[in-house]
Structure 1
Amino acid sequence: MKYKILLTLLLLTTFAFGQNVKFNIKYSEQLAVFVFMQNISENYRGNVFKTEFQKSKYNTEHYKNILSKFDKLTIDYSYAFDEFPYGSKIPMQTRDILKKNLIETTTLNDFKLRSIGIVPNKTLSDLTEMISTFTPIYNELIYNPNKIQFEKQLVEISKYSKEHKIEDFFETGLLFYNSTWNNSIPFEIAFYPLPNSQSFTAQAFYNNFISAIQTNLKDYKNLFSVMLHETFHIIYDEQPLGVKNDIDKYFKENKSKNSNYSYQILNEVLATALGNGYVYEKLDGKIDSNDWYYHQYIDLLARKIYPLVTDYISQKKPMDRSFIDNYIKIYDGNFPNWINELENVMAYRYVISENQDDFNSIRKIFWYRSSEDNDTEITENSIEKMRKTPLTKVIIVSKNNKEKLSLIKKKFAQLKNWNFEADKDFSYKILLEDKSQLIILNQKKSTIEALIKTVE
């Protein structure tokens, strides 16, 4: 009997790991209502959901008060995976786990039971009650008017996925990234309708992909290429620690001055080359002639490395040291001046300023950011914490200038011979030994915007 049970378990395990990952395509009402509430809350920018709500009979103080309380719920906690190289693995985010649980349960009570311990029980109960209150509102304003068209789309999307064997692209990604996935874990894909829109949304986390699709969407190759783009981020994130450490070592051992910034952009560039490049070409029969990505640096580099990526895919080779070295070589040969372009290096930044408004000013100037850390104190500890990251390092000095500038000079060996005039506005930039840019802004009378323009 024990032998038979063991044999059965082995066969089930072999079957689970021998099959492609399963893609489950569905509509999740619970997730859709949660996203709807996010979009119509006071602090969210204008969107189609907010427009529909504001012109409805539900735009009253009663419901706006509920939305205000929803906005104030503390549901965002996180922890980092500190054993992994800096920035190579996404921190755990409780908001995403809650969305995952909304997708994978069918009732709010089940969602509440599954989510106990992720956030405080009172917060969880309040959240569940708010979603329950807004579910009929969402259905009346959004879902029911678009139900027939959306449910038809859902059938067509499921058919498209099966006919084009979308799961095979997931397997291609696993091999290329030298990553791992237990194929007994399905990939849960949740769509919901987006009326009066010309585009769709896309987000992936854990084993989930979610997307609001415009109700007039008929051509699904763009949708699936973007979906796979986001999914490749997950596959990259799931690389084993040994693979992450090797990649980190390959970049750090490369002698190019661009090795750090080519590493910072790697995740997005690979997902773009694979999803918007390779997947789209396979689905359409030709390369997409439109922009692959909305940020020029990622779009341009993804196109340049595309032949390298497709060569590895055709040979069924995982990315290795040779791939990384050739990738950096392509970066060097085509974009040698990117290391001095603020629009590029400020996408990966660590900013220290004792003026909270400076962070918003930086975000307005450099709206695109892939990585960002901030600190509000210029101290030995904060600078030391900054030094340990590979990000662009920006220190804004506006108080006790001479003292703070002297401390900065002391903490960076490459500033040993640096001379400064603490009573004058100035900017200073230098490439550090870790191949990241250090930018010092000394503010007396000038605005941050004016100082940024003087950085050379």
Structure 2
Amino acid sequence: MQTAAGSHGTSSTFKDFIEKHPANDLKFKEAIEEYKKINIYYTVSRDDYPTSRNHGVSTYDLVVASAVNSKNLTDFKLNCLGFLPLETSQNLIQLLRNIESYYDTMVWNENKPKLEKQLQELSKFENVNIQIFNRIKQFYDSSWTADVPFQVALYPIPGANGFITATPHVNNLCVAIFSDETDYNSKNGVVLHEMCHVLYKEQKIKKQFEIENHFKENNTLYSKFAYSYLDEALATAIGNGWAYKTVNHKLDDREWYADATINKFAKLIYPKVESYIEKNKSIDKEFLTHSVKTFAANFPKAIQDYTILFNKTVVYANDLKEREILEAVSENFQIYTLNLSSPIFHPYSIESINNSPETQLFIIHNNQQETLDVLKEYFPLVGSYKYKNASMNLSFFDIKGRAIIVLVLKDISELPSELSKMKRQVFFDIKQPLQF
């Protein structure tokens, strides 16, 4: 249902498959629309951890973890108690019961035997993966211990190729796998890639502050961008690079990641990653300094590249939900973290405007001129531009060196097209705030 609803982090190939099958079934379409209305995203914040490490835990992760560990929908209902409001949980379970037969007919019945074959083949990597886990745990200096198991949860997508996804949820690594896929070595690399994300997130708190402080002290324009890409680049360099080489005795000569920036950054830092792991060294100041210098040398226009700026973003908007913004932005840009603050001038939004180091994106789709008039109190440059009943993109740096993007729209329906325009533009002109 996440995929059918077009949610962030799902496979476009799987969505296309779903749409082609019960495409004319009104009941299924209505179920998708009902699913979109169910809020399963609540965030628990870990305020005693470094602010840039995105240590909020979403109830969505807990719900997915419960699904992995449930035998059926009745079991799932009980395992979800307390994560969501009971009414929400009841509605979710009933909706899933209503559409279960669609899933069985479209996907499960035909592909279950193929998935069991995939599971059998991937299980052969278990022993070597235990050894790999111990090495990369040392590299990350993670608090994760061997007595807390990782569970790999496979789910099938009919076919042999296309765009595929994998996501970690607590200790559950949810990995999509094409039913006719045969490249088990690469798929095992994906499993280990997701494991790396968990180990990074659960680094010892002392290590997290050491990393945070180093990036703050590193006085370059590129430091925060290297930091925002570090988690994904490390997971790629280790899971798709070093671990793959450990198992296959050679590096994978294909692309390691679908995003060009992550793929390139991962391959550039790979020699350093390999050296540290082979020497049983943990991430330290030398490694982080090398990463920043590497990023700066190879991505010189990163500071004005929308693709990179959107990697970590705080969005300010009125009358919008995080899910709809996330889906619109992720259609065009790879996102590591996106946080919505609404209304724009609520006290907690003001605090974020004053203190958040990430890219600041303002989406203004009503009361346009009034909102701009208030916004100029925080960003005086905004006062030089007036709303003329046409879409407007102001992109510039504030006195703190943050990228500020102000999207002024006639109405919210313009958001997808304006984001697409930014994607095509790639870089914004640092000499001219008004981009279009």
Q: Please give the alpha-carbon distance, in whole angstroms, between the structure 2 residues aligned to 1:400 and 1:421.
A: 15
Structure-1 separation of matches of 2:32 and 2:267: 43
Letter in 2 for 1:75: I
Query: Greater shift after overlay, 235-244 or 44-53?
Result: 44-53
CA shift at 1:362, angstroms?
7.6
State the Cα distance separating 1:220 from its structure 2 match: 0.6
- Whether the 8 Å contact between 1:426 and 1:442 is mirrored in structure 2 is yes
Q: Report deviation, 1:364.
A: 7.7
1:212 Cα deviation from its structure 2 partner: 2.7
Residue of structure 2 in register with 1:279 after alignment: 243
Contact 1:78 1:94 in 2 (8 A): yes
Structure 1: distance between partners of 2:23 and 2:30: 14
2:336 to 370, 380, 390: 370
What does 1:155-234 align with in structure 2 at a 5 Å threshold? 155-162=120-127, 165-199=128-162, 200-234=164-198
- How many Å separate the matches in 2 of 1:402 and 1:66? 39
Name the CA distance, whole Å, in 2 between partners of 1:430 and 1:73. 37
Q: Distance in 2 between matches of 1:419 and 1:126?
A: 47
1:51 aligned residue: 20
Q: Is the 8 A contact 1:347 1:366 kept in 2?
A: no
Question: Larger Rg: 1 or 2?
Answer: 1
Closer/same/farther in 2, CA of residues 76 and 426 from structure 1, 3 Å limit = closer
Are 1:246 and 2:215 matched, yes or no?
no
Amino acid at match of 1:96: D
Q: Give the whole-Å Cα distance in 2 for the aligned partners of 1:428 and 1:343.
A: 13
Quote how far apart the aligned CAs of 1:54 are.
4.1
Matches within 5 A, 1:11-410: 37-40=1-4, 46-54=15-23, 59=25, 61=27, 65-162=30-127, 165-199=128-162, 200-353=164-317, 363=329, 366-375=332-341, 377-379=343-345, 381=347, 382-395=349-362, 407-408=374-375, 410=377
Q: Retained in 1: the 8 A contact 2:52–2:212?
A: no
Say if 1:133 and 1:380 are closer, same or farther in 2 by CA, change over 3 A.
closer
Tell me whether 399-408 or 203-212 shows the greater mean CA deviation: 399-408
Instruction: Give 3-state SS (helix, strand or coil) of 2:51's partner.
Output: coil
Pair 1:436 & 2:399 matched: no
Q: Number of matched residues?
A: 409
Taking the aligned partners of 1:311 and 1:263, their CA distance within structure 2 comes to 20
What is the distance in 2 between the residues matched to 1:222 and 1:349?
31
| Partner-residue secondary structure (3-state), 1:203 | strand
Q: Deviations over 1:237-273 (max 9, x none)?
A: 1112222111110110112221111111111111111
SS at match of 1:293: coil
- The whole-number CA distance in structure 2 between the counterparts of 1:361 and 1:114 is 28
Give the drift of 1:403: 6.9
Q: Which runs of 5+ in 2 are unaligned?
A: 431-436
The TM-score, its normalising length taken from structure 2, stands at 0.80
**In 2: Cα distance, 1:102 partner to 1:77 partner:** 17
- Give the TM-score of the pair, scaled to structure 1: 0.77
Q: CA RMSD in A?
A: 3.6
Once residues 179 and 202 of structure 2 are traced to their aligned partners in structure 1, the CA distance between those partners, rounded to angstroms, is 33
What's 1:18 paired with? none
* Separation in 2, partners of 1:386, 1:220: 46
Evaluate the alpha carbon distance shift between residue 221 and residue 371 of structure 1 in structure 2; reply closer, same or farther with a 3 A threshold: same
User: Take 1:386 and 1:87, find their aligned partners in 2: how far apart are those partners?
Assistant: 15
Structure 1: which 5+ runs fail to align?
A: 1-36
